[in-house]
Amino acid sequence: MAAAPSANPVGGPSLTQLVEAARAEGTVQVGWLGELDDHWRQNFETAFNRQFGFRLTLRASPAPGDSAAREKPAWDVLLSSQAEAAELSKAVRLGTYSWQRLLGTPSQAILFDGGAVAFAHQPIQPAYNTRRTPAASAPNSWESLLGSRWTGRIGVSSAAGVWAGLSLSWGEDRTERFVRGLAALQPVRGATADLLQKLEDGAIDVLAAIDDWSVRQLRDRGAAVAAASVNPVVLEPWVASPVKDGAHPNAGALFAGFLVTEEGQQLWQQYAGQSSVFIPGPAQQKAVAGTPYVVARNDPESAARYARLLGY
């Protein structure tokens, strides 16, 4: 079932009450997907202080994995994909906050009846090995991935939500024909991390779809990998989900709210090169830069159908 923007709930604490409760807690434990070094941790603490007038100690926890919704979390707010946030909602782990009243958050960014907010969008595009594929020969459209030259040299991961997202622009029939075309190329299958390694090593020439965060990490360490420019770009939301049974629930909620403020948006753009297409401001303009895009929704049934077509 797709996760659509939800109505902003009425009631809950005021911003003043939430700030004072978070100030009393003093610390926030964030389930952070990726690395957060001391430089960036201090930047986030400083920006939060500018926004709300007090210094909150930020501690980052490793990515929780599949057990996030089943076990009591060691963190107060999780930064994750929409699918992982949906699992927390299903497990009744999320609270309810009036984000529009608190911080003026656009309704499109409010998910799970006020339990979470979509604070950034990361582009999902093909990526290619630049040593094996020169830029002039790189994929320049989704359909160009179906060329026979990629037979046995293209990777497709089990993360098939991108095709469900693409279907929002193309429709199911066109998307299914495309996915069947990928399957006919004898693609290399595997987990995303394994396929990224194969792409870096040149064991495959192109990866059908990958987020730009992963491409940035590869390029930062000198890998000969680049993202291909295709239209429409599929944007996958990053979601901040404060849990109601965390050790610092108010600080968790306020940190989630911070990420959808202009201050938080600008900082996340600097940190990850991403921001939200739903939140007005300078950072929004950098999110897609005039490129046609579609925002993916959490649709596990469609994703599972496309995964089966690809042999998963």
Q: Where are the domains of the chain?
A: 15-121+236-287, 123-234+294-309
What H or E segment, with its residue span, contains residue 305?
helix 300-309
Domain 123-234+294-309 -> CATH class? alpha beta
Tell me what the mean pLDDT of segment 162-184 comes to. Answer: 97
Which pTM value belongs to this model?
A: 0.87
* Cβ count within 10 A of residue 133: 20
**What is each CA distance from 84 to 109, 237, 239, in whole angstroms?**
16, 11, 9
Contact of 103 with 259, CB cutoff 8 Å: no
Q: Are 110 and 276 in contact (CB under 8 A)?
A: no
pLDDT of residue 62: 80
Whether residue 169 has pLDDT greater than 80: yes
pLDDT at 1 exceeding the cut of 50: no
pLDDT at residue 65, rounded to an integer: 59
Mean pLDDT computed over 136-154? 97
For residue 40, report the phi and psi dihedrals to the nearest 5 degrees: -75, -35
User: How many secondary structure helices (H) and strands (E) does the chain include?
Assistant: 12, 11
- CA 124, 252, 259, 9 dihedral sign is positive
Confidence of residue 12 (pLDDT cuts 50, 70, 90): confident
DSSP H/E element including 211: strand 206-211
Which CATH class, in words, describes the domain spanning 15-121+236-287? alpha beta
Same fold? 15-121+236-287, 123-234+294-309: yes
pLDDT digits 0-9 by tens, 218-229 = 999 999 999 999
Is 178's pLDDT higher than 90?
yes
Give residue 274's pLDDT. Answer: 87
Both tokens of residue 66?
């599949």
| Single-letter code of the amino acid located at 116 | A
- Cα distances from 214 to residues 73, 130, 259, in angstroms, run 25, 16, 21
Q: For the ranges 142-156, 189-203, 209-223, 282-296, which has the lowest average pLDDT?
A: 282-296
Which two structure tokens, joined as six digits, stand for 68? 């996030």
